[in-house]
Amino acid sequence: MKKIIIDNIKTIFYALLIALFIRSFIFQPFYIPSSSMEPSLLSGDRLFVSKYTYGYSRHSLPFSPNIYNKRLFKKKPKVGDIIVFKTPSDNRTDYIKRLIGLPGDTIQILNKELYINNIKVQREEILNPTVLNCGSETFKTISFLETLSNGKTYVASYRKNGTMLNTDVYKVPENHYFFMGDNRDCSKDSRFLTSVGYVNFNNLVGKARFIFFSNNIKKGSFIKFWKWNKSIRLKRFLKKIT
């Protein structure tokens, strides 16, 4: 009996070690609680983030222990990547946004249009009208297929009425990055310097890869499996994130 208990404890211990290794160095699951990345990511999506894409920092480990202040096996991110990062304000909260500006870039919104290094980002309006969420609010949007300098395309949506018209010029510091949500008028991101601002390279956690589960939280929570027939979004299962 004693041997069985010891064997079970060893099995659990090794299983936890394997799970910790996978979570820290390969893939980590994340849950999307907000609407800031609509229409690319929806509230209620559950996705996997690759931890190895940009190398490893202390934020690769659970609880972000302050044991090392550099990045190992580092690889530079590309504009357009959807990335999970720790917010600079507390180095604890996970945010997920799209990378818009690299170190040294200038970012500005002029007359509702995005400029990077004084060059207007190419965009094509999507004619189908869209309604997006912002917390408990819904609003009509104008959506565009935006194309960045490296050819990366994505859909960005702007509130039809009351969108951000103009901003100051944001100059991205060395070793930092500038992020924005695709739901441009419902996203706390690098445009808000006091709460998010420029994100240090070491704060990057990983790149969003694919959705493994999704349910509409307005129709039922993940825990309420008896409502899955109404809340689950099967078409989003195993969807690659771009």
pLDDT digits (tens, 9 = 90+) for 180-192: 999 999 999 999 9
For position 129, what pLDDT does the model report? 66
Give 8's pLDDT tier (boundaries 50, 70, 90): low
Exposed e or buried b for every residue in 66-100, given b needs 16+ CB within 10 A? eeeeebeeeeebebbbbbbbbbbeeeeeebbbbbb
Which residue among 34, 43, 86, 97 is the active-site one?
97
Of 33-42, 68-77, 123-132, 149-158, the poorest mean pLDDT is in 123-132
pTM: 0.91
pLDDT for residue 165 is more than 80: no
Beta bridge partners of 101: 178
36 an active-site residue? yes
- 194 vs 4 pLDDT, higher one: 194
57 an active-site residue? no
Give 94's pLDDT tier (boundaries 50, 70, 90): very high
Give 73's pLDDT tier (boundaries 50, 70, 90): very high
pLDDT over 70, % of the chain: 98
> Which domains does the chain show, CATH number per domain?
2-240 (2.10.109.10)
Which residue among 36, 43, 143, 157 is the active-site one?
36
Beta strands in 102-220 (DSSP E): 106-110, 113-116, 119-120, 122-134, 137-147, 153-159, 170-171, 176-180, 199-200, 204-214
Distance CA 20, CA 128 (A): 44
Using DSSP bridges, classify how beta strands 82-86 and 94-101 pair: parallel, antiparallel or unpaired. Answer: antiparallel
Query: What integer is the mean pLDDT of 133-159?
Result: 91
Distance CA 60, CA 172 (A): 24
Of 108-112, 118-122, 124-128, the poorest mean pLDDT is in 124-128
Query: What integer is the mean pLDDT of 162-168?
Result: 82
pLDDT for residue 3 is more than 70: no
For position 188, what pLDDT does the model report? 94
Q: What is the mean pLDDT of the chain?
A: 90
